[in-house]
Amino acid sequence: MSPAESDGEVGAEADGEPSDGSNGASVESELVADVLDGKHRALARVISKIEDRSPGYRDIVSELHRHTGHAEVLGVTGSPGAGKSTLVDKLARTYRDQGETVGVIAVDPSSPYTGGAVLGDRIRMASNVGDMDVFFRSMSARGTLGGLSTATADAVKALDAFGKDRIIIETVGAGQNEVDIVRTADTVCVLVQPGSGDDVQMLKAGILEIGDVFVVNKADMDGAQRTVAELEEMIHMRQNPGKNLDTGHHGPVDEDEMADVAIDDAEEEAWDPEVVETVATSGDGIEELVETLAAHRTWLEDTGALAEKARTRYAAEIRQLLRADAARILEEELADRGGVDGLADRVVDRETDPYTVAAEVIEPIEECVRERRE
């Protein structure tokens, strides 16, 4: 129930080694202390700072990190109109009835032209209005690539440190970026709408690979049974290596996903994705869904998959931060050389070529790094 369960008042000012001597540090420490103290305004402000990448947000997230690790994180994704918001609303209500506190992050697209966005999911949180223990926050994609998943992961940390028992991330599952976001979750729930396409849609990469639990929402609609049957069939094929369709499971692999595959193979009792039918508007099937989600949680804990997931996730996070920092250093280096346009002009004029330019820019940096290492 109560936020700031662990350390409460032990403010960051007291024990947090001030990460730098800059005069901005006190504002950040104060915010962190207020978040741990359960102040909604401070939590809201911290999430804004995370979204804006305001100066000092990294210090805040670092300080919050050691107060995290208590919340159970659920990702909910699916195509627009599948009923995600309504389902999330009902899930939040159910968890609240169990006496737990809930944080929700709802991600909506932003305009690629103006950066503006209308964030409309809040309207559907009808069951939880006036209940401050459901902290609902809208986030826009802000047209960034990769950056959104970092911001979402950091916002999850803020909610976790605040003391939320359950955190739900809701996002439209249309592209790769969104897939990244749901990786932030321990359990991923994919919503499928009845009649949302032929069986080729189900063969396509993405949707089947990320789901731990599949929800056929609007199960009272025509064609719901067929959709359930198709899903079951696809999942069954995916689970059966004898059918030789297993290669589609983890399509284009990077190192992080390789780790995932390794666990999957090593696990004696792999998780068999479940298909649940719901009618979110009426609440039908929500209880069964909650039970299925709990079963997945138990599986995660019993098999050690949860710990492995956390490690994989933090490894990915470290890599992502390093890439962003390295990119910044490179931008500075480019600016120092008069900007990338001048270099591009020289390439256009055939004075040089992109490979040579890249080698020239990176060489001094590489040299520095090598010297430091030795």
Partner 1 sequence: MSTQEQEERTIRCLIAKVGLDGHDRGAHVISRAFRDAGFEVIYSGLHRAPDEIVQAAVQEDVDVLGISILSGAHNTLVPKIIAGLEEYDAFEDTLILVGGIVPDDDREELLEMGVSAVFGPGTPMEDTIEFVRENVHERK
| CA gap 192, 188 in Å, rounded | 13
* Nearest distance in Å: CB 241, partner 1: 44
Q: Which residue has the tokens 């056929």?
A: 216
Least distance to partner 1 from the beta carbon of 57, Å?
11
Least distance (Å) between residue 348 CB and partner 1: 21
Closer residue to partner 1 (CB): 139 or 234: 139
Contact 76, 186 (CB under 8 A): no
Residue number with CB closer to partner 1 (2 or 114)? 114
CA 131 to CA 245: how far, in whole Å?
47
* Lookup: tokens for 206: 């993405």
What's the min distance (Å) between Cβ of 144 and partner 1?
6
Binding site for partner 1 (CB under 8 A): 27, 40-41, 44-45, 47-48, 51-54, 110-112, 114-120, 122-123, 129-130, 132, 135-138, 140, 142-144, 147, 331
Q: Please state the closest distance from residue 130 (CB atom) to partner 1, in A.
A: 5
Q: How far is the CB of 14 from partner 1 (least distance, A)?
A: 21
- Of 116 and 338, which has the nearer Cβ to partner 1? 116
**Rounded to whole angstroms, how far apart are CA atoms 354 and 349?**
12
Alpha-carbon separation of residue 153 from 158, 184, 354 (angstroms): 9, 6, 35
Do residues 173 and 188 make contact, with C-beta atoms less than 8 angstroms apart? no
Distance CA 183, CA 166 (A): 16
Residue found under tokens 């480019």: 334
SS (H, E, C) 251-292: CCCCHHHHHHHHHHHHCCCCCCCEEEECECCCCECHHHHHHH
The answer to whether residues 110 and 141 touch, using CB atoms and an 8 Å cutoff, is yes
Cβ proximity to partner 1: between 156 and 231 the closer is 156
- Residue of 251, 168, 138 lying closest to 204 (CA atoms): 251
Per the structure block, which two tokens stand in for 18?
């001030």
Instruction: Find the shortest distance in angstroms from Cβ 132 to partner 1.
Output: 6
Residue the block writes with tokens 């962003």: 324
Q: How far is the CB of 131 from partner 1 (least distance, A)?
A: 8
Neighbours of 287 (CB within 10 A): 12
Closer CB to partner 1, 140 or 187, in the complex:
140
What minimum distance in Å lies between the beta carbon of 125 and partner 1? 9
Which C-beta is closer to partner 1: that of 50 or that of 228? 50
Cβ-based nearer residue to partner 1, 168 or 231: 168
**Pair of tokens at residue 232:** 């079951």
* Consecutive H or E run containing 169: strand 166-172
Nearer to partner 1, 34 or 277 (CB): 34
Between 20 and 256, whose beta carbon lies closer to partner 1? Answer: 20
